[in-house]
């Protein structure tokens, strides 16, 4: 197809061992495409024979993955003109940040004046919301440099890898909203998060849940695969093992998250139909919100149905 980029070449890939236990033994699990943008390529996920973690192997090397995080990537998307749907879209994005704030207030006990760090902060709207609602001192880290966004003025924005950042003082709250599944060294990231937590601080991690209804529905077209950006897929047990291995204690494990599970239901159905051709977000926004309205009775039971998400709230584990 004219204008279509070439698939990634073999030199852009690297073979890796299990992120959870270091084993090199695995079984094939599923192959995925970049269903969201339609960029060419097929990407393999495997399941570790030792600990059961599902991870991408081989994966795109770190120095090449930036090309997959362009301006159309949802977390970095700055476009606000959605035609007649713009007011609804903007309300929906603010609603997501409000849902995150409710979650951290209820389960992390975050109070006014807290020091808040968002890892993989993207365009940083959660930090802006936390600064306004909690009078928080806020800091964000992202792989892509978005520091020029006007609403990030006054935010301590760090561009680069989280575990290479040094901070002055500890944080009362560290959040990872759909970050850990992207990370190239999750064990190192979690250990670094533990090191920057205040003694009574909390770490909030939200990721797609592999052992969920939406994965069973869509499997190789499951939006949680999001290849090649997602490097690992976490079930309830594998997420708990990864977090505990970093010296963190889980105090809450929720079968839902702030992010709407409906997105996974809608996108999975679209990916099944499009078969790797990519989703045109401008054309999809109308059907997306109409479908959300029609399915709203079902979505009231999201927390009981384990549709797509999981969230853990952690603290530093006490020494034995």
d(CA 267, CA 264) in angstroms, rounded, equals 5
pLDDT of 183-232, one tens digit each? 999 999 999 999 999 999 999 999 999 999 999 999 999 999 999 999 99
* Cβ 107 vs Cβ 253: under 8 Å: no
Q: In terms of Cα–Cα distance, which of 261, 270, 244 is closest to 296? A: 261
**3-state class of 267 per DSSP?**
helix
Quote the tokens at residue 15: 């073979």
Cβ within 8 Å of residue 136, ≥6 positions away? 110, 112, 113, 114, 115, 116, 130, 173
pLDDT of 274-314, one tens digit each? 999 999 888 888 899 899 888 888 788 888 889 999 999 99
Which pLDDT does position 71 carry in this prediction? Answer: 55
The helices-and-strands tally (H runs, E runs) of the chain is 10, 13
Quote the tokens at residue 67: 């090309």
Cβ within 8 Å of residue 218, ≥6 positions away? 268, 269, 271, 272
Please list the residues that pair with 305 across neighbouring strands. none
pLDDT of 15-52, one tens digit each? 999 999 999 999 999 999 999 989 999 999 999 999 99
Beta strands 309-316; 197-208: pairing state? antiparallel
**Phi, psi (degrees; rounded to nearest 5) at 205:** -125, 120
Average the pLDDT over each of 66-80, 162-176, 227-241 and give the range with the smallest value.
66-80
Q: In terms of Cα–Cα distance, which of 227, 210, 158, 161 is closest to 189? A: 161
Output the CA torsion sign for 191, 223, 102, 84: positive
Q: In terms of Cα–Cα distance, which of 213, 236, 239, 215 is closest to 225? A: 215
pLDDT of 243-279, one tens digit each? 999 999 999 999 999 999 999 999 999 999 999 999 9
Place of tokens 């990872």: 176
Quote the tokens at residue 21: 């236990």
Beta strands in the chain (DSSP E): 13-14, 26-32, 43-48, 54-56, 59-60, 115-119, 137-142, 156-159, 171-177, 197-208, 232-233, 248-254, 309-316
- List of domains in the chain: 10-316 (3.40.50.150)
d(CA 298, CA 133) in angstroms, rounded, equals 30
What is the DSSP code string of 101-113? HHHIIIII---TT
Which pLDDT does position 2 carry in this prediction? Answer: 45
Mean pLDDT, all residues of the chain: 91
pLDDT of 82-117, one tens digit each? 677 778 778 888 999 999 999 999 999 999 999 999
Average the pLDDT over each of 51-60, 144-153, 179-188 and give the range with the smallest value.
144-153
């Amino acid at each position: 197809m004219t204008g279509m980029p070439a698939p990634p070449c073999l030199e852009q890939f690297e073979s890796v061992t299990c992120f959870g236990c270091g084993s090199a033994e695995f079984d094939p699990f599923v192959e995925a495409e970049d269903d969201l943008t339609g960029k060419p390529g097929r990407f393999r996920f495997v399941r570790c024979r030792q600990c059961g973690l599902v991870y991408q192997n081989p994966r795109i090397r770190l120095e090449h993955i930036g090309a997959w995080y362009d301006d159309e990537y949802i977390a970095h998307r700055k476009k606000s003109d959605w035609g007649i749907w713009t007011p609804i879209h903007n309300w929906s994005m603010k609603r997501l940040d409000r849902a995150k704030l409710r979650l951290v207030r209820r389960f992390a006990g975050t109070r006014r004046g807290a020091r808040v760090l968002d890892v993989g902060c993207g365009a940083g709207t959660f930090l802006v919301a936390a600064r306004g609602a909690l009078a928080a001192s806020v800091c964000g880290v992202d792989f892509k440099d978005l520091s020029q966004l006007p609403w990030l003025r006054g935010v301590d924005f760090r561009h680069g890898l989280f575990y290479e950042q040094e901070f002055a003082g500890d944080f009362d709250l560290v959040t990872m909203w759909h970050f850990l599944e992207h990370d190239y060294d999750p064990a190192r990231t979690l250990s670094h998060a533990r090191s920057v937590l205040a003694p009574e601080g909390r770490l909030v991690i939200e990721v797609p849940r592999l052992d969920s209804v939406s994965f069973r529905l869509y499997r190789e077209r499951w939006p949680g695969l999001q290849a090649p950006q997602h490097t690992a897929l976490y079930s309830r047990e594998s997420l708990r093992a990864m977090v505990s291995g970093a010296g963190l204690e889980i105090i809450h494990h929720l079968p839902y998250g702030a992010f709407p599970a409906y997105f996974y239901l809608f996108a999975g159905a679209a990916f099944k139909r499009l078969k790797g051709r990519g989703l045109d977000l401008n054309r999809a926004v109308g059907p997306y919100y109409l479908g959300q309205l029609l399915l709203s009775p079902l979505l009231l039971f999201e927390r009981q149905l384990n549709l797509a998400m999981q969230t853990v709230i952690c603290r530093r584990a006490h020494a034995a």
